[in-house]
Amino acid sequence: MKLYLKIWRQLNASAKGEMVNYEIDRVSEHMSFLEMLDLLNESLIQKKERVIEFDHDCREGICGQCGVVINGRAHGPLKNTTTCQLHMRSFKDGDTIYIEPFRAKAFPVLRDLKIDRSAFDSIIEAGGFIGASTGQAPEANSIPISYETAEASFDAAACIGCGACVATCKNASAALFVGAKITHLALLPQGKIEASKRVLTMVDQMDSAGFGNCSNTGACEIECPQGISILSIAKMNAEYSKALIFRK
Ligand code: FES
């Protein structure tokens, strides 16, 4: 199929960017969205033009590195799908597709579609470590965890840190990301020892990294490729309030 692409080009963080028009032919419906961009880049290389830079790594929906805004939606039109797992069969011959980077004050554009997500890393770093015994894995029944709790923790742990929640939020809030990380550990006995300190430092770092406040629009939950629930934000707020009461 033939497609008309309007892609954000920006040389570096301080340069002024603009949408640039491209036409691409012979796109197979079986290609992933990133493979379609690879095909476009091959044609740019042949013309000795600068390639379009974009983030990616696993291309299996696991690492959270990919992520662009496609026709106004973070990761494109499909629910629970990362950009790398989106296939061109979701588009029609002759379509015009707008492709832009995730935009947020805390995610500066490095070049074209590449953004700096190190603000997320700083939040994780602020959370520190969890206390766990060394040595062999303990006998499973020595730390009873209910099925429901284990599942809820695992659901939160599924967050891949792609930043779609921030990109889609009108406040550029990172509450879903931080909520998922807080919930994942707060539910498990292994994460309880440092729970108060962790939630306080992570939320403080989220605020100082330049993310906006959550106003419960729920847009993050809709665009999250891992289906993280906004209940994790409620859990984060509850943990934060509890930690404030017992803050020394
Ligand atoms: S490239 Fe790893 S999630 Fe898309």
CB of 226 sitting under 6 A from ligand 1 = no
Q: Is the CB of 32 under 6 A from ligand 1?
A: no
Task: Name the residue type at position 100.
Answer: E
3-class DSSP assignment, residue 185:
helix
Cα(170) to centroid of ligand 1, in Å? Answer: 24
Going along 102-148, which residue ranges are E strands? 109-111, 114-115
Nearest ligand 1 atom to the CA of 58 is 2
- CA–CA–CA angle 81, 4, 38 (5° rounding): 60
Best substitution site from 78, 84, 87, 226 to test ligand 1's pocket, by max atoms within 8 Å of Cβ?
Answer: 84
pLDDT in tens, 58-96: 999 999 999 999 999 999 999 999 999 999 999 999 999
- How far apart are the CA of 146 and the centre of ligand 1, in A? 31
Ligand 1 atom with the smallest distance to the CA of 64 is 3
Residue with tokens 């390639």: 51
Q: What is the mean pLDDT of each run of 10 residues along the chain (248 residues)?
A: 98 96 97 98 97 97 96 97 97 98 96 98 94 83 91 97 98 98 93 92 96 96 96 97 87
